[in-house]
Chain A
Amino acid sequence: MKTARRGWYYRLSFPKKTALWGFIFLLPWLLGFLLLFLVPMVQTFQFSFNNLEIIPTGGIKLTPVGLENYRHALLVDPNFNPALVNTLIEVFLYTPLIIIFSLLCAILLNGKFRGRAVARAIFFIPIIMATGLMMQRVTNLSGQMQGAAESSNVYGAGFIAELLFNLGIGKQLVQYLLDMVNRIFEIVSLSGIQILIFLSALQAISPSLYEVAKIEGATAYETFWKVTVVMVSPMILTCTIYTMSDLFARSDIMTLVYNLAFRQSRFGLSTAMSSIYLLLSVLSIGLMALLIRKVVFYYD
């Protein structure tokens, strides 16, 4: 009698209540996800087969053109293909470096030592700096300086470069070394969130595993490979996915697509390029993920 008066909510079973609240909690995010992620994704593909015009009075006009946009992007546009190849090379070159570097940093920062707070603060600076305008300034600066090939003072390494140059090492090699130094900063600036993810994974490893390893007489080297790496391997997968999609999002293609759409109003061509790019990036990320998935260990 009493329960009947108290309404339907009180008659729900516990799992059903949990599910109900789960969905209530998820609702705002889900709404945003559908509206601002899923719908635009689908529309990108839809627009790419059309000629899109924005009518001044509001609204849009679509005229189907079939594969014309794709043909133009791949065969006519002079900038698209080289940018695409460059981006792919860059992504596959940077990703392993970023993953290794950020795992290393996370392990270093996870240790207990004096001044850890300061060290962590310094390592967080790149995340702060990696914003659009700031990054532009820094890359511009290093770009300018790099332009001054022989005596350039990038990272205060000029004197080393000069020394190497004087020792009779070829100019190209010196240039390559300077290039690598430049890249180190780029890699560092891109690995902030990865360091974070790895740190959280490292802290989630149960200390009892290390205790067991110690009691069994494992060396630090063995412990690293057989406990640490194995336990963070799911996060290696996640980080790889995130790193690659981040790199894809930062490439020159984005500026190309953006300029085509909002400067030249060629929306159809722009969305066609985006679709090709999106497909390519998802394909390469998926391939990488499948490869890594084979060695990932899930601990339950």
Chain B
Amino acid sequence: MNSTHLTKKQQKQLDKARRKSMKGVKIKHKSKFAKALTKGRSNRSVKGSLTLLACLFVFSLIMLFPVVFLVSNAFKPINELFIFPPKLFVIQPTLDNFADLFDLLSDSLIPFSRYLFNTLFIVLAGSVGHILISSMAAFPLAKFRFPGSKLLSNIVTLSLMFTAAVTAVPNYIIMSKLGFVDTYWSIILPAFSMSLGLFLMKNFMEQVPDALIDAAQIDGSTYFTMLWRIVMPAVKPAWITLFIVSFQTLWGNTAGNFIYTENMKPLPAMLTQIASSGVARAGVVSATSLIMFIVPVVVFIISQSNVLETMSTSGIKE
């Protein structure tokens, strides 16, 4: 049959018919590589998958560049750090920078572990509290209708428009009135009430089928049980993602003008001090940058499998 005489539509139909009749044969034609690429689906073309991978590859290169640069910088000896133009990869890797960093740390009055504890406390308390409070608030907004719920949802969306960072001065005054200046709470409390978390949780919770919640209600569960045993497990990817986002926000917080006492300061404050000491400490600075970067990455890798995963919301058909 000469296919050039056919219109495009007819051609397509013909192709479909052909594919149908030769289903078993076609799968045999796919190489092992192609099968792996398309996850064994017959309706996925190898070409399409390859294009997709190529696109992703280019983007990943852009994203990975600073990481590679950071890592190789940390292992560069001082003379290589100042090569101009800078080289991407290290030529003679050395651990001197880390040794210098630990020398510097052992000389300081307050032990490194204290800074680490401060940061970890702030980060963990802030993130966990943020997730708890925003998911508690998101649950009724996403799943129930009651007087004022619509208005509150609108307020949440609207408050995303306001840049909360401009309120530094009144924020400081409120904190000082509450007696929270120079305590961890001055950093942790503002983290609790960010509306971004509430907004994200609300979006995800709206995807949980109503039938699940109705079923729980009929079985006589309390509202807390509904949230804890049904909704929260269903939106696990959402709150793990939120945890990572708020972890990294708080991890980088130097607590600049809220905490004065040196042994209450978080790790970034100390590292910024080291970093600001100029050219002579360039090696130490690149080592600290790597350390600052490693921790969130480790946290991310641990929780990675859950982040951005497809929501599996039970087998209910609506």
Chain A positions within 8 Å of B, measured between CB atoms, are 15, 18-19, 21-26, 28-33, 35-37, 39-41, 43-44, 47, 52, 58, 60, 105, 108-109, 111-115, 117, 119-134, 137-138, 141, 144-145, 148, 151-153, 155-156, 158, 184-185, 188, 192-193, 196-197, 199-201, 203-204, 238, 241-242, 244-245, 248-249, 254, 257-258, 261-262, 267, 270-271, 274, 277-278, 281-282, 285-286, 289
With contacts A262-B257, A278-B162 known, what are 14 further pairs, Cβ within 8 A? Answer: A18-B145, A22-B140, A25-B136, A26-B140, A31-B193, A40-B164, A43-B167, A115-B53, A131-B296, A188-B59, A238-B160, A249-B163, A257-B166, A258-B168
- Is B154 in contact with chain A by the CB < 8 A criterion? no
Q: Which residues of A contact B160 (CB under 8 A)?
A: 238, 241-242, 245
Interface of A is mostly: helix
- Which residue from B55, B70, B134, B268 sits with its C-beta under 8 Å from A132? B268
User: Given known contacts A43-B170, A134-B252, is B189 in contact with A32 (CB within 8 Å)?
Assistant: yes
Given the known interface contacts A261-B169, A278-B166, the answer about A29 and B133 at a Cβ–Cβ threshold of 8 Å is yes
Please indicate the chain B residues that have their CB under 8 angstroms from the CB of A111 in the complex: 52
In Å, the complex CA distance between A117 and B300 comes to: 12
Report A-chain residues with C-beta under 8 Å of the C-beta of B241: 196
- Is B5 part of the binding interface, using a Cβ–Cβ cutoff of 8 Å? no
Inside 8 A of A262's CB, which chain B residues have their CB?
168, 172, 256-257
Cross-chain contact B39 with A112 (CB below 8 angstroms) = yes
A185 touches B169 (CB 8 A): no
Q: Considering the chains assembled together, what is the distance between the CA atoms of A162 and B207 in angstroms?
A: 52
Does B104 reach chain A (CB closer than 8 Å)?
no
A254 touches B162 (CB 8 A): no
How many Cβ-Cβ contacts under 8 Å join chain A to chain B? 275
Closest to B173 in A: A60
B interface list, Cβ under 8 A from A = 36-39, 41, 49, 52-53, 55-56, 59-60, 62-67, 69-70, 73, 84-88, 133-134, 136-137, 139-141, 144-149, 152, 157, 159-174, 176, 189-190, 192-193, 195-196, 198-200, 203-204, 206-207, 223, 227, 238, 241, 244-245, 248-249, 251-254, 256-257, 268, 271-272, 275, 285, 289, 292-293, 296-297, 300-301, 304-305, 307-308, 310-311
Given contacts A39-B174, A40-B174, contact A141 B137 (CB under 8 A): no
- Given A123-B60, A133-B268, A271-B169, the answer on whether A25 and B252 have CB atoms closer than 8 Å is no
Residues of chain A lying within 8 A (CB to CB) of residue B304: 117, 120-121, 124
Contacts of B67 in A (CB 8 A): 125, 129
Asked whether, in the complex, the Cβ of A18 is within 8 Å of the Cβ of B272, the reply is no
Contact of B238 among A148, A155, A200 (CB under 8 A): A200
CA A158 to CA B5, docked complex, whole Å: 52
**In the bound complex, do residue A145 and residue B85 qualify as a contact, i.e. CB atoms below 8 Å apart?**
yes
Interface-centre pick from A30, A109, A133 (highest chain B CB count, 10 A): A133
Which A residues lie within 8 Å of B62 (CB)? 155, 184-185, 188
Given contacts A32-B193, A111-B52, A245-B160, contact A121 B301 (CB under 8 A): yes
In this complex, which of B39, B65, B149, B308 has the most chain A Cβ atoms within 10 angstroms of its Cβ? B308
**Complex contact A185–B65 (CB within 8 A):** yes
Best-buried of A35, A44, A193, A200 by chain B (most CB within 10 Å): A200
Alpha-carbon distance A271/B159, docked complex (angstroms): 19
Instruction: Give CA–CA (A120, B88) in the complex, Å.
Output: 24
Query: Within the complex, which residue of A26, A108, A158 is in contact with B55, where a contact is CB–CB below 8 Å?
Result: A108
**Which of B238, B248, B253 makes the CB contact (< 8 A) with A128?**
B248
Closest chain A residue to B249 by CB distance? A131
Contact between B174 and A151 (Cβ–Cβ < 8 Å)?
no
Known: A114-B36, A197-B203. A32 touches B192 (CB 8 A): yes
Beta-carbon nearest neighbor of B50 in chain A: A113
Give min CB distance, B174 to chain A, whole Å. 6
Q: Are B245 and A133 in contact (CB under 8 A)?
A: no
A-B contact pairs, 25 of them (CB 8 A): A19-B144, A32-B192, A40-B164, A40-B171, A44-B166, A58-B176, A111-B52, A113-B38, A114-B37, A114-B39, A115-B53, A123-B63, A124-B300, A127-B244, A128-B296, A131-B248, A131-B252, A133-B275, A137-B289, A153-B87, A156-B88, A200-B207, A245-B160, A254-B166, A271-B170
Q: Which 6 A-B pairs have the closest CB atoms?
A: A131-B252, A32-B193, A22-B140, A19-B146, A40-B167, A29-B137
Q: How far is the CA of A35 from the CA of B3 in the complex (A)?
A: 73
Known: A32-B193, A134-B293. A145 touches B86 (CB 8 A): yes
Instruction: Give every chain B residue within 8 A of A58 (Cβ-Cβ).
Output: 176
Closest-CB distance, A296 to chain B (whole angstroms):
13
Q: Do the beta carbons of A37 and B65 come within 8 Å of each other?
A: no
* Cβ A148 vs Cβ B165 within 8 A: no
CA of A206 to CA of B65, assembled, Å: 37
What's the Cα separation between A216 and B230 when bound, in Å?
Answer: 38
- Do residues A274 and B166 form an inter-chain contact, with CB atoms below 8 A? yes
